Structure 1
């Protein structure tokens, strides 16, 4: 039977609800959806979808590093956008974080996100 472990990284944004940054078992890690929150302030970074997307990846990287993983361990990503017109901008930034072996991915348009964010990404990783 797999051992389950929840954890938070001190290098990520503080949780603002009853959730962990990630939960993992012996083979998989699931992150909570990451917004473009600056860990130092607890607020969404200014600058719109591009700045938020880059901050999301900094937050995901901090979580994965805490678990001893990197972005190359991502099997599946789910992106939530409040405006599907931002799809191409997010795609361009997203692509820059991978070396061509992209994870499986979904992108979903939503009416709103927590804290007024415009992009949120959650991932499933292989350990």
Structure 2
């Protein structure tokens, strides 16, 4: 379909499958699920939960920036976390990284994620 832009940035890990980091259509930005993988794709699966959350959200925000969006233009963020006990820590890191921005959000406890990671996030935003 014409008018759909594929978004890519070297400030987040390149996709490991048949997808793009994000798509943008008429100002609406859909950001693909981001694991706590640094751009160099080094393994961080043994990092503490807060570090993993910070990396995954950092990837999400880097892609948003490449698409012309930011925390203040996020409409919805979904977070998939392993271990319900990690919910308060995720909330703390999220508030730290998003500041005054408070998008709609869902935190979904899951039994496991790919490669043994503890958090994955995706989002929908509006380009500025």
How many residue pairs were aligned? 127
The C-alpha deviation readout for 1:88-125, integer Å capped at 9, x for no partner, is: 00001101122334000011111211121100111100
Give the structure-2-normalised TM-score. Answer: 0.90
Give the TM-score taking structure 1 as reference length: 0.90
Q: Are the aligned partners of 2:50 and 2:93 in contact in 1 as well (CA < 8 Å)? A: yes
Structure whose residues are more often strand by fraction:
2
SS of the equivalent of 2:61 reads helix
Gaps of 5+ in 2: none
Alpha-carbon RMSD: 1.7
The ranges of structure 1 where at least 4 consecutive aligned residues each deviate by more than 6 angstroms after the TM superposition are: none
1:11-90 to structure 2, matched below 5 A, reads: 11-44=11-44, 46-90=46-90
Q: Deviations over 1:45-94 (max 9, x none)?
A: 64221000111122112111211222211110000011111000000110
Distance 2:59 2:45 in 1: 12
